[in-house]
């Protein structure tokens, strides 16, 4: 392995640190295989033609990674339109970028600090943003990783075992959790909730990606995998802890839930589902989580009944 070295170089009146990063062989670093075009820029220090890169006018939220090694370089929050023909950033992720004088003796080159891949050049004094810095980067030197968007939904409709199992099957659902909500008692246990005196109901908290599945689709699924016309019960399970309820986390969720209830009522159902603002959600005991999967149970306490036309 190479020994790290730090060399002070005077460039345009500034002292610049050139860092040699310790590394093993390229095989050990597991670099991405590059096309000839990518090698020309990334390894040979070339430049792609202006206004041709895929990220010039790109504005999606996420992180820009080094195309060669995958290291994180820039966040979308630091990207700005400079109309120069290449993606521009006014700040880098801390420790991600190495600077060194360009062989032309005029510009300052920027490289991936992790693998030395050529990215482009950095300029100051142009006044584009308050940071007064512009990283002019070749699109071909980067790969964009979209930000993972998440939203939370909470539904209650009888035994949380069956509800959680069916929500887990829905594409776009990232995580599910059985728990208790809607009551006053702090840190309730299963025994507390089963007494019917705490005000809590068995519920499922769902973390989902709204770019894959909408809240409306999840809410429709909820209204179809339990009977929203039963008051304080689902089948043989009776008590306020088994009531039907939607706990909305935003005004948009509230409006969606109310609209779906209206649609069901217009179709002849007498929906008793409560629509309430989100309150503290207490995760249930570990043995309740993914109960069917953990216990390899085939019987289901929730079955889907189609109640919407789509």
Q: Give the residue numbers marked as catalytic.
A: 136, 159
- Contacts by 195-200, CB closer than 8 A, 24 or more apart: 196/239, 196/240, 196/241, 198/241, 199/240, 200/241, 200/282
The number of residues making up the chain comes to 310
Residue ranges of E strands in the chain: 5-11, 14-20, 62-66, 72-75, 88-89, 97-101, 108-112, 118-124, 133-137, 142-146, 151-157, 173-181, 201-208, 233-234, 237-238, 244-248, 274-277, 282-283
- Separation of first and last alpha carbons in the chain: 61
Give the three-class secondary structure for 253. helix
Contact 272, 228 (CB under 8 A): yes
Strand 118-124 versus strand 151-157 pairing type: unpaired
Q: HSE on the CB side for 150, CA within 13 Å?
A: 9
Dihedral angle sign, alpha carbons of residues 177, 179, 184, 188: negative
Query: Taking the CA atoms of the chain, what radius of gyration do you get in angstroms?
Result: 28
Compute the distance between CA of residue 246 and CA of residue 165 in angstroms, rounded to an integer. Answer: 18
């Amino acid at each position: 392995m190479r020994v790290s070295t730090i060399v002070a170089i005077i460039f345009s009146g500034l002292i610049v640190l050139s860092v040699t990063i310790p590394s093993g062989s390229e095989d050990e670093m597991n670099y991405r295989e590059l096309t000839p075009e990518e090698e020309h820029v990334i390894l040979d220090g070339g430049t792609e033609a202006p206004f041709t890169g895929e990220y010039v006018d790109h504005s999606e939220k996420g992180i820009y990674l080094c195309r060669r090694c995958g290291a994180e370089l820039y966040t979308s929050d630091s990207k700005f339109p400079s109309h120069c023909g290449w993606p521009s950033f006014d700040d880098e992720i801390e420790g991600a970028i190495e600077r060194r004088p360009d062989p032309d003796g005029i510009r300052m080159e920027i490289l991936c600090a992790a693998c030395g891949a050529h990215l482009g050049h950095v300029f100051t004094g142009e006044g584009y943003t308050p940071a007064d810095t512009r990283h002019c980067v070749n699109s071909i030197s980067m790969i964009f990783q979209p930000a993972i968007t998440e939203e939370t939904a909470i539904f209650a409709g009888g035994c949380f075992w069956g509800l959680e199992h069916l929500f887990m099957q829905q594409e776009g659902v990232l995580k599910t959790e059985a728990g208790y909500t809607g009551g006053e008692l702090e840190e309730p246990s299963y025994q507390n909730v089963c007494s019917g005196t705490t005000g809590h109901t068995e519920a499922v908290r769902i973390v989902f990606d709204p770019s894959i599945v909408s809240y409306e689709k999840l809410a429709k699924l909820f209204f179809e995998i339990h009977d929203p016309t039963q008051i304080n019960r689902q089948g043989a399970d009776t008590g306020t802890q088994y009531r039907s309820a939607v706990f909305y986390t935003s005004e948009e969720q509230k409006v969606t839930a109310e609209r779906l209830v209206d649609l069901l009522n217009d179709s002849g159902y007498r929906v008793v589902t409560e629509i309430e603002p989100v309150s503290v959600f207490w995760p249930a005991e570990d043995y309740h989580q993914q109960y069917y999967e953990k216990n390899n149970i085939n019987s289901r306490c929730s079955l889907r009944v189609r109640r919407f036309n789509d």
